[in-house]
Amino acid sequence: MSTSALQTSASETRNGPALALPTRWPSLLRPDVLADAAGPTPFLLGSTELVTSKLRRFRSAVREVQPFYAVKCNPDAGVLTALAAEGCGFEVASLGELELLVGLGVDAREVLYSNTVKPASHIKGAAELGLWRFAVDSAGEVAKVAREAPGSAVYVRLAVEDDQSAFPLSRKFGVDGGKAVALLLEARDRGLRPYGLTFHVGSQSTAPSAWTTALRRVALIAAELLDLGIHLDMVDIGGGFPAWYGTPVPEIEEIGAAITRGLASLPYTPELLAAEPGRHLAAESAVMVASVLGRERRGGQDWLHTDVGAYHGLIETQQTPSGWPYPLWTSRSDHGTAPSLSYVVTGPTCDSADTFLDRALLPATMAEGDRLYIASAGAYTLSYASSFNGFPPPQARYTATSISTVGRVVPQPSHAVALRSAG
């Protein structure tokens, strides 16, 4: 988002009505709880209980499917440990992610490696740790896996309709049905195990029917493969399960019903039905806490400069045409009573591309030192964060928490760790 674009699009309106706390703001991370969080900003304050409760609801809604958490979404050790304790599986996109899991006690044999184009050294290293299932979508990758991890299992990624998602993926990944059949036959000829099919309907999908349609395509390919002597051991329905960012999204129960309809079309039930939820489990588990460094008015707009920006975990705000609608609140005692104002919110660096919010409605009284609370920040923030311009990335503060009768956080046994930047 360029500065010039912001200057022509931001609202010129000065004062608006007072604001209400966004609906579905997590009770474990209410503003009065956030106000008790001491220490320097920026930091991501999260509850592993919110992650595991999402996992339990996912399992209830999609009973036929085993979840494998997408580590890239949020690799915080506290999150991973909590999910592992619940018996959740994991999906990785690199050897580094697998090594992180193994270091936490996760059995590599239970992990899926769904990145379809991998460094040869990562395939070899993963196989040496015990991982045996690799995604592919090209003949070159089949040959690479056969060379670096002989005898392992491969599953082919299909390209499917993903136009109802915030982040379509099929331009970069996936093949059509005919190519998928050819790749599994080639894998068998190379001594690999033709294990399964997978797809991804795009990140933050708002179309439950996308899973139904994709599974019906899988059914046709599975039937063709059966005639060729290949019985699929796995169908992996990928990720794309949405999270709340202030606007309505389909509930997981609605998506689960669509998945069930799609699974009914399969010619048989594979031994493993897998899914790779990431954003859906992690996003709503945490709030990013930042401080206002300064307030300015330039070009007819009101600007807030904060100590977190696009380069420090909020890059998704620049990856969609309309930005990313994070729910917002502040530490101001008059938030909810003071008139509101439309702000451009930018990060701390000397790069205008660090600007991450346009038309952010916040109290007209905002000033240096106030804290900005950015909800639904538990997904694709930590893993994107960098130290660009010498500004450190946010620290992660995940803990298991409960709320006392006076509304304060009561710490429970914790796996909170400092963020190790993956960006």
Of the candidates 350, 405, 406, 413, the residue annotated as catalytic is: 350
337 and 42 in contact (C-beta within 8 Å)? no
308 CB-side CA count, 13 A:
28
Considering only CA atoms, which of 348, 371, 391 is closest in space to residue 291? 371
Tokens 């710490």 locate to 411
Q: How far apart are CA 176 and CA 161, in angstroms?
A: 11
323 and 1 in contact (C-beta within 8 Å)? yes
Do the strands 203-205 and 165-167 form a parallel or antiparallel pair, or are they unpaired? antiparallel
E strand spans, 299-339: 301-306, 328-330
Let me know if 350 is a catalytic residue.
Answer: yes
Question: Residue 253 contacts by C-beta under 8 Å, 6 or more apart in sequence?
Answer: 61
- How far CA 233 is from CA of 41, 182, 188, 193, 311, in Å, comes to 48, 17, 14, 10, 41
Read out DSSP for 59-115?
A: HHHSTT-EEEEEGGG---HHHHHHHHHTT-EEEESSHHHHHHHHHTT--GGGEEE--
What sign does the dihedral 129-131-137-143 (CA atoms) show? positive
Catalytic residues: 350
